[in-house]
Structure 1
Amino acid sequence: MKRRQDLSAHRRSEHPAPGAGGSGGRYECSFCGVTFAQRGHLSKHRLTHTGERPYACHICQRRFTQKTHMVEHIRIHTGERPYRCEECQATFTQKTHLVGHLRTHTGERPFKCSECGKAFSTSSSLSRHRFVAHSNQRAEEEPK
């Protein structure tokens, strides 16, 4: 996806936010129509449209849309790795990285490519696969 609006449309259709599109969503985004059950979730979501990044790393000044993302980033500088695998003692800066790692022990591969059926243990691995394996294929199929 080369255009920002294509990415936004993909996110809305393929990755609906919690409470989005259902009867529980009382707070609606004026940019894209996605709804949220909590006002705070809508406020965080709006930042994806405005580009505002109110949280800055005090070490390198990199900016973030959410405070939790900044806190995770700061661990790069501090070396803190609070999430530990009980199986092999590997440590991680983010809980999501630990969860993905745990799948290497269980063999679970819940992320499946819709184009070729290949399965992956993390969504980022699937995204990388789609880009590498199928982006040229789509370009060749599109009429010029």
Structure 2
Amino acid sequence: MTTVAFDDLAGLAGTSLGSGEWLEVTQKRIDLFADATDDHQWIHVDPERARSGPFGAPIAHGFLTLSLVIPLWTALFDVSGVSTKVNYGVNRVRFPAPVPVGARIRLSGTVLSVTPVDGGAQITADVVVEIEGGTKPACVAQPVFRFYR
């Protein structure tokens, strides 16, 4: 994990943060996400039917994969000397490959830009959610985070 003091954020643009730890995407996590979002499409929550579907197994929702960017990012990067951290938005998101149940994913990231905002700083990052053993990423995105003193 990279931890940076708030006062040192300005110089981070272009800095690679490397890759984080692997996280297994379980059927239980997929089912809980389906319950939370009311998205119970069979390719996610019906293992038997999904085996004969286009992916050969249940897959994680794309937006579950995107939501996991937050804990994966938090395990990769932190800012000290702040009172509040906010997920401000996402500029770009794509899901090039599905995440099958049981797959392990991890995040790699680069700080794209650091911009001052009233009372804090905004970081835009380029992140890639990699699937262990996969040839394409599960997700590529540009999340935007704000850090306030």
Same fold (TM over 0.5): no
Structure number with higher relative contact order (C-alpha < 8 Å, ≥ 6 residues apart):
2
Q: Which has the higher strand share?
A: 2
